[in-house]
């Protein structure tokens, strides 16, 4: 391979649209890029995704290039780019709440089977961050929990499920994004713990993933001063990527960067310059998700760095070899991508399994097992049939750029109505909760039962005020936390509290079944949500 071909393999690009446009096609044909990343902006439906990916591979093969890595963030739960027509699995914290590590394996295996049927061969999952900080604005329910050992166990099962089905797994965000209170999409977080503490907490799941044979690890855009004397994020730190991850932990797979357009990188170092710094630090693959000019700029900057002697061509060849070896290991060959294209166009057996009844039943079983009844001291659950129930739903919103969009087709009230309950619902946008308090409190007075669906209320005081208004009016609300389970910390005296971990339609249906008494809530929250409620424990209910 030429120098430019080797550098091209190291660049993975995002694009806009539902089919390969001129810019991304040129990046494949003329810039030799090794991979594509898909976002919700690239997804119309499953057939379109499969046909688009087949076209990408056709362009690569016609150009004489190796088949492409086609990647996606399909974590499950609240972070997923494919949500319709597939068996969308619950997210990590919901899976862990069910208490069965095998569920992490099954969810990952089914996700991988469906991704492969659509031409996607790399998943930016699992998240192996240990969420020990309730104020974490970006991880939360994307983590399996607060226990390093639990995260390691469930994460290793997910790695096995993805890779046994033929999809590259990517552990993220090394060495850990679970104890930050800043979103690296927006700024550069710092984790100031000692090496000993990081070794005992953050690194435990990554060690286990390496032992499980993980193909790839994604670096975080976080500054860890205990490992790096200069104020450099992990992505740009030789001390962390090479000395810690490669040499100390013995990782021999592919090191990927998180998106280099995130503000933790772009605002402090510049995406193009940082691409060179990341390769110097030890990264094999540089991810640039949005702008075409920055993608081309990064390639030219890496070529110039080699030509000037700043980076050796041997260093470039080392990364290119790792990336090609990863493709070969997962069977990403010319023959396999042509077969996948035929499957997409002709609706072969694998494509027909996408969103199949069997897969959906597994997702439902895992979701129902996750429902966690934290508190019901007044015996409010199940809801009394024949009595009017007001449901106040705080609508889901993107809490970070990683969410993209969370416009959902089902509400908690609609889910409850399917259980035969007499329901009236008021849906409220996050930004309108404060201005709606008086109206909602007055409305609640004419209902025998009140259910409030909150969405990260522990981080949004206006939602706490809403629940407090119901408590003060003696409405005895049942609160259902539809994302982070920490919400009860904002209203510890609420009489009944259920953690659903997400507001995807399946989770809403599962929560509705609990409230209606159709199923029992058997989950245990894998994080400490209040000083009185340690992980894995719940209060006695009447």
Nearest to 526 by CA among 233, 155, 176, 200: 155
Tokens of 387: 């009595």
Nearest to 37 by CA among 65, 5, 15, 59: 15
- CB-CB contact of 32 with 8 (8 Å): yes
- CB-CB contact of 350 with 116 (8 Å): yes
Nearest to 501 by CA among 18, 34, 84, 144: 144
CA distance 158 to 108: 5
Say how many CA atoms lie within 13 Å of 519 toward its Cβ. 21
The one-character DSSP state at 70 is E
Per-residue HEC secondary structure of 444-506 comes to: HCCCCEEEEEECCHHHCHHHHHHHHHHHHCCCCCEEEECCCHHHHHHCCCCCEEEECCCCCHH
CA distance 392 to 413: 8
Catalytic residue among 129, 179, 215, 258: 258
Query: Does the annotation mark 403 as catalytic?
Result: no
CA distance 534 to 526: 9
Catalytic residue among 185, 193, 268, 290: 185
- CB-CB contact of 48 with 18 (8 Å): yes
CA distance 50 to 346: 11
For 335, 389, 449, the CA distances from 380, given in Å and listed in that order, are 59, 12, 9
Q: Which residue reads 């070969």 in tokens? A: 328
Query: Does the annotation mark 258 as catalytic?
Result: yes
List active site positions.
185, 258
């Amino acid at each position: 391979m030429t120098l430019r071909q080797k550098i091209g393999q190291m660049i993975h690009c995002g694009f806009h649209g539902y089919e390969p446009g001129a810019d991304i096609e040129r990046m494949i044909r003329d810039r030799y890029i090794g991979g594509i990343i898909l976002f919700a902006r690239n997804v119309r439906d499953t057939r379109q995704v499969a046909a688009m990916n087949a076209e990408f591979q056709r362009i690569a093969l016609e150009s004489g290039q190796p088949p492409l890595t086609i990647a996606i963030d399909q974590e499950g739960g609240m972070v997923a780019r494919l949500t319709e027509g597939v068996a969308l699995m619950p997210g990590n914290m919901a899976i862990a709440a069910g208490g069965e590590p095998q569920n992490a394996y099954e969810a990952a295996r089914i996700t991988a089977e469906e991704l492969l049927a659509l031409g996607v061969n790399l998943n930016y999952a699992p998240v192996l961050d240990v969420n020990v900080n309730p104020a974490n604005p970006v991880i939360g329910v994307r983590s399996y929990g607060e226990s390093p050992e639990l995260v390691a166990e469930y994460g290793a099962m997910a790695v096995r499920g993805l890779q046994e089905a033929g999809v590259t797994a990517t552990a993220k965000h090394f060495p850990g994004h679970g104890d930050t209170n800043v979103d690296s999409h927006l700024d550069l977080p710092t984790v100031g713990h000692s090496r000993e503490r990081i070794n005992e907490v953050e690194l435990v799941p990554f060690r286990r993933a390496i032992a499980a044979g993980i193909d790839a690890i994604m670096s975080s855009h976080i500054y860890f001063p205990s490992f790096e004397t200069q104020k450099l994020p992990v992505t740009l730190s030789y001390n962390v990527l090479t000395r810690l991850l490669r040499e100390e932990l013995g990782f021999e797979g592919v090191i990927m960067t998180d998106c280099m357009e995130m503000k933790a990188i772009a605002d402090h170092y510049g995406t193009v310059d940082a691409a060179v710094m990341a390769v110097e630090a030890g990264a094999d693959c540089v991810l640039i998700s949005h702008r075409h000019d920055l993608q081309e700029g990064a390639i030219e900057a890496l070529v110039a760095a080699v030509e000037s002697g700043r980076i050796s061509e041997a260093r470039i060849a080392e990364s290119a070899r790792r990336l090609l070896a990863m493709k070969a290991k997962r069977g990403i060959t010319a023959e396999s991508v042509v077969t996948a294209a035929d499957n997409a166009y002709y609706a072969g057996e694998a494509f027909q399994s996408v969103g199949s009844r069997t897969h959906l039943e597994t997702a439902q079983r895992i979701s129902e097992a996750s429902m966690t009844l934290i508190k019901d001291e007044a015996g409010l659950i199940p809801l009394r049939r024949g009595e009017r129930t007001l449901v106040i739903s705080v609508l889901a919103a993107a809490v970070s750029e990683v969410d993209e969009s969370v416009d959902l087709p089902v509400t908690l009230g609609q889910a409850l109505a399917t259980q035969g309950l007499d329901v009236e619902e008021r849906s409220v946008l996050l930004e309108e909760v404060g201005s709606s308090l008086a109206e909602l409190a007055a409305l609640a007075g004419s209902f025998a039962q009140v259910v409030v669906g909150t969405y990260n209320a522990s981080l949004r005081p206006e939602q706490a005020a809403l629940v407090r208004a119901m408590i003060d009016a003696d409405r005895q609300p049942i609160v259902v936390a539809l994302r982070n389970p920490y919400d009860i910390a904002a209203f510890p005296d609420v009489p009944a509290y259920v953690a659903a971990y997400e507001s995807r339609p399946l989770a809403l249906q599962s929560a509705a079944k609990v409230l209606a008494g159709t199923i029992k809530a058997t989950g245990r929250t894998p994080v400490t949500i209040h000083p009185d409620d340690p992980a894995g424990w719940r209060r006695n209910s009447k």
